[in-house]
C-alpha cells in the first residue's frame, strides 16, 4: 500500500535549461519518424514536476494502462511530450506530459511486453517551466487530476506570477475555487491527505479551516469518525460535531417537550427555581396549537 507523500511535489522549484534536441536524440540513438522514437531507458522524469500523488488509486491507474499496453501495444497516436535539457553538460530527455504512460510502459515491460522505444513530441527550446506547467493541465486527457493535485498546480502557477483569475482561466474553474485550492495546498498534512483520498471535499475542508483554524484537523477527524460509524467513507457537513449535535437536538425536541410538559404537572415542579419555570412556561406557551381552528 502506498502512503501519502507530497513533499517533493510541494517543494518543486526546478528550472530546466534548454538543450540540443538533435544531440540528445543522437546520444540516445533515437529514430525520427513523424515523432522521435526514443529508447525508454533514455526518457527521464523531472522529480516533483508532475503533481500526481502515488497512492493506491494512482497505482491502479498505472496497472490499467500497463495491461492495455500488454494487450494492444503502446498507441503511437498518443505520444509523450518531452523537453530536452542540458544537465551538467549532458543532453537529457525529460517527459513533461505522459509520465503515467511512461510508468505503465515500464511496468508492461517488466510483465513481458516487447517494447523498446516510445513516441516523443519534443517541446520547442523556447518553452519555459511555466509553459510546461500550463501544458500539463491543458494536455491532460487521461485520469483527471484530483482537487489536491490541482491545488499543487495552482500554487505553482501563482509562484510564476499568475493571479487567481488567470489560474482559473487556465484550469477552467472559478477564481473562488482557485482561492480554495490555494488554501488546501497550504493546509496541514492530514487535511491534504483527506482531500487527496476523497474523504473530504475541498469546500468542507476550506470552510472548516476558516471557522476553526488550528482546531480544524481535530474537527474534521471527528467528522470522519462519525461518517465512518454510519458506513460512509466521505464526510459531509452533517457529520461535523456541531451539526451532529443540532441534528440530535432537533430529533429529540418533541420527546423533550413532552417530558418537560409532564414535569409541569408533577409536584416536583414547585421546587424548580422561579426563573427557570418562567422561561419554560414562556417556551411552551409559544408552541403553536395543533387545533386547526
Among 96, 112, 127, identify where a domain stops: 127
Question: What are the cell numbers at 220?
Answer: 474534521
Look over the chain and give the mean of its residue pLDDT values, rounded to a whole number.
Answer: 88
Q: Count each helix (H run) and each strand (E run) in the chain, helices first.
A: 13, 6
Q: Span 4-8, mean pLDDT? A: 71
Residue 264's pLDDT band (cuts 50, 70, 90): confident
- 155: in domain: no
Asked if residue 276 is part of any domain, the answer here is yes
Q: 89-132: per-residue pLDDT in tens?
A: 999 999 999 999 999 999 999 999 999 999 999 999 899 999 99
pLDDT reported for residue 285: 81
Domain assignment present for residue 187? The answer is: no
Of 127, 157, 176, the one marking the end of a domain is 127
- pLDDT tens for residues 165-207? 999 999 999 999 999 999 999 999 999 999 999 999 999 999 9
Q: Do residues 120 and 97 touch, judged by C-beta distance below 8 A?
A: no
- Give the alpha-carbon dihedral of 77, 92, 6, 155, to 10 degrees: -80
Domain boundary among 127, 147, 177: 127
Range of the domain at 8: 1-127
Statement: residue 15 has pLDDT above 90: no
What's the confidence (pLDDT) of residue 33? 54
SS3 for 44-96 is EECCCCCCCCCCHHHHHHHHHHHHHHHHHCCCCCCCEEEEEEEECCEEEEEEE
C-alpha torsion sign, points 121, 127, 130, 134: negative
Domain total of the chain: 2
Confidence of residue 281 (pLDDT cuts 50, 70, 90): confident
Whether 175 is in a domain gets the answer: no
Quick check: 52 pLDDT over 80? Answer: yes
CATH number for the domain spanning 51: value is 3.90.1530.10
At residue 278, does pLDDT exceed 90?
no
Looking at per-residue confidence, does 117 or 6 come out higher? 117
* Alpha-carbon gap, residue 11 to 156, rounded angstroms: 10
- Considering the domain boundaries, does residue 278 fall inside one? yes
Domain assignment of residue 81, yes or no: yes
Say how many C-beta atoms besides its own lie within 10 A of residue 250's C-beta: 9
On whether residue 43 sits in a domain, the answer given is yes
Asked if the structure places residue 7 within a domain, the reply is yes
pLDDT at 245 over 70: no
Amino acid at each position: 500500500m502506498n502512503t501519502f507523500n507530497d513533499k517533493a511535489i510541494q517543494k518543486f522549484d526546478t528550472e530546466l535549461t534548454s538543450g540540443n534536441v538533435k544531440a540528445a536524440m543522437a546520444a540516445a540513438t533515437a529514430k525520427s519518424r513523424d515523432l522521435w522514437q526514443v529508447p525508454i531507458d533514455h526518457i527521464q522524469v523531472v522529480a516533483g514536476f508532475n503533481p500526481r500523488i502515488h497512492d493506491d488509486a494512482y497505482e491502479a491507474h498505472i496497472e490499467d494502462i500497463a495491461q492495455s499496453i500488454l494487450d494492444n501495444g503502446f498507441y503511437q497516436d498518443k505520444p509523450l511530450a518531452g523537453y530536452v535539457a542540458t544537465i551538467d553538460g549532458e543532453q537529457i530527455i525529460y517527459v513533461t506530459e505522459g509520465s503515467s504512460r511512461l510508468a505503465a510502459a515500464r511496468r508492461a515491460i517488466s510483465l513481458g511486453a516487447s517494447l523498446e522505444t516510445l513516441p516523443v513530441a519534443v517541446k520547442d527550446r523556447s518553452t519555459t517551466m511555466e509553459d510546461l506547467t500550463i501544458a500539463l493541465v491543458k494536455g491532460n486527457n487521461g485520469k483527471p487530476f484530483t482537487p489536491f493535485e490541482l491545488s499543487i498546480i495552482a500554487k505553482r502557477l501563482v509562484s510564476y506570477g499568475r493571479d487567481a483569475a488567470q489560474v482559473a482561466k487556465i484550469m477552467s474553474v472559478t477564481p473562488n475555487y482557485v482561492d480554495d485550492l490555494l488554501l488546501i495546498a497550504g493546509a496541514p498534512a492530514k487535511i491534504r491527505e483527506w482531500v487527496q483520498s476523497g474523504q473530504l471535499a475541498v469546500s468542507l475542508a476550506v470552510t472548516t479551516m476558516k471557522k476553526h483554524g488550528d482546531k480544524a484537523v481535530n474537527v474534521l477527524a471527528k467528522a470522519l469518525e462519525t461518517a465512518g460509524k454510519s458506513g460512509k467513507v466521505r464526510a459531509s457537513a452533517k457529520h461535523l460535531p456541531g451539526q451532529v449535535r443540532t441534528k440530535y437536538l432537533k430529533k429529540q425536541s418533541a420527546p423533550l417537550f413532552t417530558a418537560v410538559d409532564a414535569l409541569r404537572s408533577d409536584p416536583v415542579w414547585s421546587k424548580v427555581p422561579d426563573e427557570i419555570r418562567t422561561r419554560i412556561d414562556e417556551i411552551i406557551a409559544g408552541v403553536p396549537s395543533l387545533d386547526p381552528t
